[in-house]
Chain A
Amino acid sequence: MAAGDPIAEVDSVRVRFLGKKGEVSRLLKQMGKLPPDERPKVGQAANTVRDAIETAVRQALDNARDEALRRELAGPPIDVTLPGRPLDVGPRHPVSRTWDEVVDVFRKMGFEAASGPEIEGDFYNFEALNIPPEHPARDMQDTFYLNSGRPAPAMTTEGGEGPDPGDVLLRTHTSPVQVRAMLRQAPPVRIICPGKVYRRDSDPTHTPMFHQIEGLWVDRNVTMADLKGTLQLFAKAFFGTKAQVRFRPSYFQFTEPSAEVDVSCSICGGSGTAAGASARSTVEPESCKTCSGTGWLEILGAGMVDPAVFEAVNYDPEIWSGFAFGMGIDRVAMLKYQIDDLRMLFENDARFLEQFP
């Protein structure tokens, strides 16, 4: 019973003796030819034989199964070095991934996301933000205009026309979303506005389209210290618990006082020196490429909402105060993933995209 497939062989034995046409059946069928008094004796003997065979077969089958399993387990191993069957899960774009992460952090701090048109009117993009026509601040934001022959999107408010939106342009920041939110609702306002923005600028450090996120918090007794605390919390949540922020006075037409906000460099930890360079004391340490050796990264612009902006949206600046801030999502993504060539972001080269699984 050893050769070949042991289970099949046992089975053939079982069929030969116990099958419908097997030896035992044949024996029992021939019982009719026996004298009646011999039948019980022979029948009993046949049953005994059958039971014995059944037991033997069962035993053999168990043995055969064991043998089969033993053989199966004892065979040579498969080639575990062959590559697995690929699950081709597509990667997220680093900018959209960063967008989500940033929004998430601010959501948890109590901001709510808001969006608005990218094709905007001059009123919402500039005038309501305290940037009148011919103001030099417009030089800071070179603007794309549309010759659509159509008016810019107006404010749709219940019971009345919104302000005249003016020339049609591609928004240069997401601030118009804040203006629209304030025109639509009474304070308090706590919104975060991520989106695409456009400036007429294209060189190794500027793309004509980029992504920005702006936040606005309007309530009673909001102070510049609150702004600092909020951004400090964001920096720690996004860049790590060791991150620090630093405020430098600056100028934006729609905030006053205004600040440039630096975050301590996440690559060198704020030391300004490239990793590994500090060990060799005799050599001048190489400076960190990410922050150009300053230890700080310019990331945000921020400030207290200018009273002129509140007046444009009919909020009383003596009762309400607020802060606003904005940052470039693309820049943050580049810092996070150490991308050193801005143009890669929108070329959509598969070899680039596949680096962010």
Chain B
Amino acid sequence: MKILHPWLADYIDGPLPDPESTARSLTFAGLEVESIDWFGRSTGGIVVARVETVGPHPNAAKLSVCEVFDGDSHRKVVCGAPNVRAGMCAPFAGPGTRLVNGMEVGEREFRGVVSSGMLLSAAEIGLWDDASGLLDLGGERKPGTPLRDLPGFSGAVLDVSATPNRPDALSHIGVAREVTALTGTRLRMPETDLEENAKQTTEVAKVRIEDPERCGRYVARVIEGVSIGPSPAWLRARLAAAGIRPIYNVVDVTNYVLLEMGHPLHAFDLDLLDSATIIVRRANPDETLVTLDDVERRLDREDLVIADASSPVALAGVMGGQTSEVSPKTERILLESAWFEPIGIRRSARRHGLHSESSHRFERGADPAIPLLAADRAASLISRLAGGVVLGGALDVHPRPVTPQNVTLRFDRTCDVLGLRIEPEDQERALVGLGFRVVDRAPDRLLLEVPSFRTEMSREIDLIEEVARLHGYDAIPSTLPGRSPESSRPDEAGREEEVVSRVREAASAAGCREVVNYSFLSESDVSMGLDMKTLPEARPLRLSNPLTTEHSVMRTTMLASLLGNLRYNRRFQRSDLKLYEVGRVYLAGQGDLIEEPNRLAAVFSGRRAPLSWTQEGAVVDFYDVKGLVETILRRLGVNLAECQFEIDENGLPWLHPRSACRVVGPSGERLGWLGEVHPGVAAHFELAPGVMAVELEVDALTTISHLVPSYKTIPRFPAVYRDLAVVVGEDVNAEQIRRLIEAPLPEAEHIGARVVDATLFDMYTGPQVGEGKRSLAYAIRYQATDRTLTDTETSRMHLAIVARLENELGAALRV
């Protein structure tokens, strides 16, 4: 809220520090001052001038020609304002003055009469948006006084951001109280010198509360014989500086008291209230109310309303209604000063999308003890500024009186929480300065009564915080916590983190750039252009209040996010790109469960290697992503020979049916899938065919990982390599051959040797091997632990393998 620095001085007995110091001490006491502005900055060069005479313009009916005294000289000024009159004082800009809109005032001719300067409206000076006439400064001003020297027309404005626990700081008095507590000065409350009429309020109005839960107190005052008109300039300036538009005196006063005391008030035109009756009740479902912002509100049972004898006239604590609005014709005012229960106000304000100064305060908790004081203050100001008499005796319906709360503060507890010694006297002084009252005392503790404007302070810890912030957090030293012998708990995330870290390194080495995507996608992207029914994963979880349709469902696949990234980059001519992401997907799992598995996914698109003179420009294929998967598994200590790459004919509809498989772990764990993205899916993301992708489950990878390898003795003797090229039918796959080569060999065991591994180093299809056939060439490594194998021994094993391939796969040795 905007706090006027000079306004604070009204409530402080003693010196008020300058705006910067005030802002700094407030900020370091927990009332953050977000900015300091200067009201009246735009009034440079503008002075008070008195209008001496007003005469008609010879050539224009709507203009007048005035003689004006600006403290220095008498000037002839043409003026178009309807409210110009002889004897008034108004702001004046002489020739050469630059106005807030950038215009320079000059000697200017209006229909044949030269005007030597300008009389101004509030809007022309940039104070507030009233351009209906001259800003009337009254008659008692000294001509020539700079406008900024008038009370209210200049000063620092502190933008104070009060956290939700500080409803007391939403007023000038509240902030002043904070300043007095910080500077050791005293708070001075405003005068409420009320002169009451013999005629009693009870004679003209009635108040009834039907819902005491929602309305704990209702104070009404009646002022008769008011004349509605503009407020004095100082009051309008203060409101404007605080960001509230001045309207009429009566309404301005209610706003002024709101800013001063923080208590929302409402003024009704008493003559427009049916039977001069106020009933605080729930709305009926069929009722409506046109609020002051000109919107018709459909009410329901949850809304608390202020009604007259026939219908609602205000949405209680939120906004008044039009039917009983104060207007220039109003003569009798009923002033409402009530206390409403916070949650009800909050619900109503939210339901109607109405956030007002009033609801903002009631929903944070208004001071239940202040309604009568606020009503008296407003009534006194109204009678002073708008005339009229205040009827005797406020109507004060108080079905739920508030008993003050007492809280015990143990001095040592404060020190234990803060890790800082604060003397008992200092603790007491801080709290008393903030309005707490000592009810009882013991050497080690105080019993304190919580002030009515801080009702949320109900516990010892609340008081400790007050002491701490007034004392200043800077005083708290820096120490490190001790540790009890009991251990916390095993670092369960550690193992998975290590897996993720190795996976990242592999992806990075494969040239994948890491991305981080939003967890939500559009409906269309999450389905990747496929018929949702064909997707094995259940329908995505939907946000009930998404910000945009682009972000409306939780992703069920990482792939869609990454394809979206390729689409984005393609627009910037980046089609050769490898990306990966580690993150969660969100699945409606078995039964009621929601699952959030962590996954790794990568996409490869375009060239295999960066454009370079050293490399051919081959594009990525299936075996690039497969290589990444194999590298990851190897780095996690998984025996690749125990994993399987299985075709799943209908289970992977987002992949190319000819180039896709699942990855299965040693004990059948479903690790994920890889393959070429289906051309249709690629097209959905505006991508050319040939995008490769993989998605793996981090959980499953963690389960099968062996992160700490155990060393195996390295043979002291060299291994023997033999090459083997076989021609097989195309229906025979590489895995079948590899298994047969690496399977245990009796001939080998016999002599204490074995096949260590077989590396496929060449594959050929073509005329040399014939239609429907292909040739695969392996480098086989033979090894005995205790010696170097002889040629004869190696040949015997080699021939046994050839025989096995011939028998079981119909392979032919290629020579």
Contact = CB atoms under 8 A, between A and B. Distances in A.
Does chain A bind chain B?
yes
Contact of A150 (B483, B513, B592): B592
Nearest to A93: B514
A100 B516 CA distance: 14
A350 B612 contact: no
Contacts of B492: 114
Interface string A138-170: 011000111110111100000000000000101
Contacts of A314: none
Contacts of B735: none
Given A223-B416, A348-B568, 9 more contacts: A95-B516, A96-B514, A136-B363, A219-B483, A247-B474, A249-B465, A257-B468, A259-B473, A351-B574
A9 interface: no
B580 interface: yes
Contacts of B462: 256
B402 interface: no
Most buried by B among A91, A115, A249, A346: A249
Interface stretch (A21-29, A81-89, A281-289): A81-89
Interface of B: 27-30, 32, 163-166, 342-343, 346-347, 363-364, 416-420, 459, 461-462, 464-465, 468-469, 473-474, 476-484, 486-494, 497, 501, 504, 507-520, 541-548, 551, 554, 565, 568-569, 572, 574, 577-580, 582-584, 586, 588, 592-594, 596, 609-610, 612-615
A118 B551 CA distance: 16
Contacts of B520: 208-209
Given A249-B468, A250-B30, A251-B163, A96 B582 contact: yes
Given A90-B578, A147-B542, A251-B165, A113 B497 contact: yes
Given A223-B416, A225-B420, A208 B484 contact: no
Contacts of B574: 350-351
A230 B481 contact: yes
B480 A230 contact: yes
Size range of the interface on A? 35 or more
Nearest to A259: B473
Interface in A206-239: 207-209, 217, 219-226, 228-230, 232-233
Interface string A257-272: 1111000000000000
Contacts of B416: 221, 223, 321
B614 A85 contact: yes
Given A136-B346, A209-B519, A148 B541 contact: yes
Given A118-B584, A350-B574, A351-B572, A251 B166 contact: yes
Contacts of B610: 86, 88
Contact of B577 (A208, A257, A350): A350
Contact of A96 (B346, B474, B488, B516): B516
A220 B481 CA distance: 9
A40 interface: no
Given A90-B511, A134-B347, A233-B480, A189 B516 contact: no
Nearest to B561: A348
Contacts of B512: 90
A191 B488 CA distance: 8
Nearest to A117: B596
A345 B493 contact: no
Contacts of B580: 90
Nearest to A133: B343
Given A113-B494, A137-B164, A226 B419 contact: yes
B201 to A, nearest CB: 34
Given A148-B594, A350-B577, A90 B488 contact: no
B93 to A, nearest CB: 31
A189 B489 CA distance: 8
A84 B612 CA distance: 9
A223 B473 contact: no
6 contacts: A139-B164, A170-B519, A221-B416, A229-B480, A346-B518, A348-B517
Shortest 7 CB-CB contacts between residues of A and residues of B = A225-B419, A223-B419, A249-B30, A251-B163, A88-B511, A249-B469, A247-B473
Nearest to B539: A148
A208 B541 contact: no
Nearest to B507: A90
A341 to B, nearest CB: 15
A305 to B, nearest CB: 10
B471 to A, nearest CB: 10
The A contact surface, by secondary structure, is mixed
A131 B478 CA distance: 30
Contacts of A115: 493
A83 B55 CA distance: 89
Contact of B488 (A146, A189, A220): A189
Contact of A225 (B476, B508, B547): B476
Interface string A47-79: 000000000000000000000000000000000
Interface string A266-309: 00000000000000000000000000000000000000101100
Nearest to B490: A112
Nearest to A353: B513
Nearest to B470: A249
A223 B342 CA distance: 34
Contacts of B465: 249, 256-258
Given A113-B493, A225-B479, A92 B572 contact: no
Most buried by A among B504, B513, B569: B513
A115 B615 CA distance: 44
B478 A134 contact: no
B545 A200 contact: yes
B511 A251 contact: no
A275 B468 CA distance: 36
B516 A219 contact: no
A248 B474 CA distance: 8
Contacts of B346: 134, 136
B482 A225 contact: no
B581 to A, nearest CB: 8
A250 B163 contact: yes
Given A96-B582, A226-B419, A144 B545 contact: yes
Contacts of A200: 545, 547
B517 A346 contact: yes
A240 interface: no
B351 to A, nearest CB: 12
Given A148-B594, A249-B469, A349-B568, A223 B164 contact: no
B514 A225 contact: no
B478 A93 contact: no
A134 to B, nearest CB: 4
Contacts of A250: 30, 32, 163
Given A208-B551, A219-B481, A257-B417, A119 B541 contact: yes
Contacts of A190: 483, 488
A106 to B, nearest CB: 12
A223 B493 contact: no
Contacts of A321: 416-417
Most buried by A among B512, B516, B545, B569: B516
Contacts of B508: 89-92
B477 A228 contact: yes
Contacts of A113: 491, 493-494, 497
Contacts of B347: 134
B86 to A, nearest CB: 49
B92 to A, nearest CB: 35
Contacts of B497: 113
Contacts of A96: 514, 516, 582
B609 A248 contact: no
A46 to B, nearest CB: 37
A347 interface: yes
A95 B517 CA distance: 11
B494 A225 contact: no
B343 A147 contact: no
B545 A188 contact: no
B801 to A, nearest CB: 37
Interface string A333-357: 0000000000001111111011000
